[in-house]
Amino acid sequence: MNKLLLIVGGSTLLYACLAWTMGVWPGIELSRIPAGPGVEPLTALQSEGREVYVANGCSYCHTQQVRPLDADKVFGRPSAPGDFKYQTPELLGSERTGPDLTNIGARQPSSVWQYIHLYNARAVVPESIMPSFNWMFDVVAQSPAGVTPVPLPKSYAPAHGVVVPTHQADALIAYLASLKQPALPASEAPGGEAPTTAKPSANAASAGSYDAAKGAALYTANCSACHQASGEGLPGAFPSLKDDAVVNKDDATKHIDVVLNGLHDARVSGVVYSSVMPPFSGTLSDAEIADLIDYERSSWGNHGKPITAAQVGAERAKAK
């Protein structure tokens, strides 16, 4: 009997210590950390979305912690303690089956994309293994006044009616949109340095030195989720880059401007796209943007004149 009590008591004590160390203590410490510069409290809708995020186990597959590693640079700057003032430990996650969401509100600001992705991730990312959350949407004969239906690709749309988000979906997307990393002062940035911003490359690419492999990789990482690997976009949601007038125009000024500074509510080939394209001026160098644009201008039958990193640098300087 004494041995049984010892085993049960010891197991209970071990469990309690682990629960305190991994759950309770981090929460207490997190609550004491002041918010970082630019870190704002969540709105009522965003807070509700955070609860939807937790209830549906999103943190089982997605993290919200960017490590100071080269492999994590695609997700944003390394995380700082003040980033998590309005988060709780379980939101940080422990597995990265899907991409990190620390800065998803800035990396993918298009609510149109987010709604399509939530309804069925494979509609925008064919290789995705994320489960469909189509139960967060309703299929109705006609969209209610003031509600924009989700512009699903034909192969994913219902045979009859249109798809509209429920309040849960609206709240979850509002929460994801709130996940943005503000810039840190040099004194508070990890490593004591201000976050790196893209600057004109000293080794500016020249016409004819386009790195096709790098351009393709940059397109896949930054553009293919919306414009698709085929460059054909999604009708009604994201414009096609194939045979696009701007992409094929010899004067690439507009093309460079769009990639540097982003775009929203744009009319392309007579269609107005409400989705938001993020700016890449703060995340990609001049040489990287040149490779990315040259890839777009030479793929899918496009024949746009190649550009150089120096041209990108000149347009970046104009914006400043």
- Answer whether residue 305 is part of any domain: yes
- Quickly state the pLDDT bin for 270 (edges 50, 70, 90): confident
Res 189: pLDDT: 53
- The verdict on 170 and 50 lying in the same domain is yes
Which of 4-8, 37-41, 213-217 is predicted with the least confidence, judged by mean pLDDT? 4-8
- The verdict on 225 and 157 lying in the same domain is no
State yes or no: pLDDT of 196 exceeds 70: no
- Answer whether residue 172 is part of any domain: yes
Res 190: pLDDT: 52
- The CA distance from 53 to 180, in Å, is 16
Cα 226 to Cα 25, 155, 221, 241, 270: the distances in Å are 41, 16, 11, 11, 19
Classify residue 24 by its DSSP letter.
Answer: I
- The verdict on 54 and 169 lying in the same domain is yes
State yes or no: pLDDT of 104 exceeds 70: yes
Yes or no: say if 161 and 180 are a contact pair by the CB < 8 Å rule: no
Yes or no: say if 231 and 299 are a contact pair by the CB < 8 Å rule: yes
Nearest residue to 147 via CA among 120, 173, 171, 165: 165
- The verdict on 145 and 58 lying in the same domain is yes
- The verdict on 166 and 50 lying in the same domain is yes
Res 47: pLDDT: 96
State yes or no: pLDDT of 203 exceeds 60: no
- Quickly state the pLDDT bin for 20 (edges 50, 70, 90): confident
- Answer whether residue 130 is part of any domain: yes
State yes or no: pLDDT of 8 exceeds 80: no
- The verdict on 55 and 96 lying in the same domain is yes
- Answer whether residue 105 is part of any domain: yes
Q: Are strands 271-277 and 263-268 parallel, antiparallel or unpaired?
A: antiparallel
State yes or no: pLDDT of 194 exceeds 80: no
pLDDT tens-digit profile of 65-92? Answer: 999 998 898 898 999 988 988 888 788 8
Task: Look at residues 178, 211, 240 and tell me which one is the last residue of a structural domain.
Answer: 178
Cα 116 to Cα 28, 112, 164, 251: the distances in Å are 37, 6, 10, 34
Task: Look at residues 143, 178, 213 and tell me which one is the last residue of a structural domain.
Answer: 178
- Answer whether residue 13 is part of any domain: no
Res 208: pLDDT: 52
Domain total in the chain: 2
Task: Look at residues 178, 205, 235 and tell me which one is the last residue of a structural domain.
Answer: 178
- The CA distance from 119 to 124, in Å, is 10
State yes or no: pLDDT of 209 exceeds 50: yes
pLDDT tens-digit profile of 221-267? Answer: 889 989 999 999 988 889 999 999 999 999 999 999 999 999 888 88
Q: What is the mean pLDDT of residues 120-126?
A: 93
Res 7: pLDDT: 82
- The verdict on 170 and 213 lying in the same domain is no
- Answer whether residue 163 is part of any domain: yes
Q: What is the CATH classification number for the domain harbouring 101?
A: 1.10.760.10
- The verdict on 109 and 142 lying in the same domain is yes
- The verdict on 114 and 87 lying in the same domain is yes
Res 199: pLDDT: 43
pLDDT tens-digit profile of 148-181? Answer: 899 998 889 999 999 999 999 999 999 999 999 9
- Domain range spanning residue 91? 44-178
Res 28: pLDDT: 77
- The CA distance from 239 to 271, in Å, is 8
- The verdict on 49 and 169 lying in the same domain is yes
- The verdict on 111 and 170 lying in the same domain is yes
- The verdict on 171 and 202 lying in the same domain is no
Higher pLDDT, 125 or 33: 125
CB count in 10 Å sphere of residue 26 = 16
% of the chain beyond a pLDDT of 90:
56
Res 60: pLDDT: 93
For the chain, list the strands marked E by DSSP: 137-140, 162-165, 263-268, 271-277
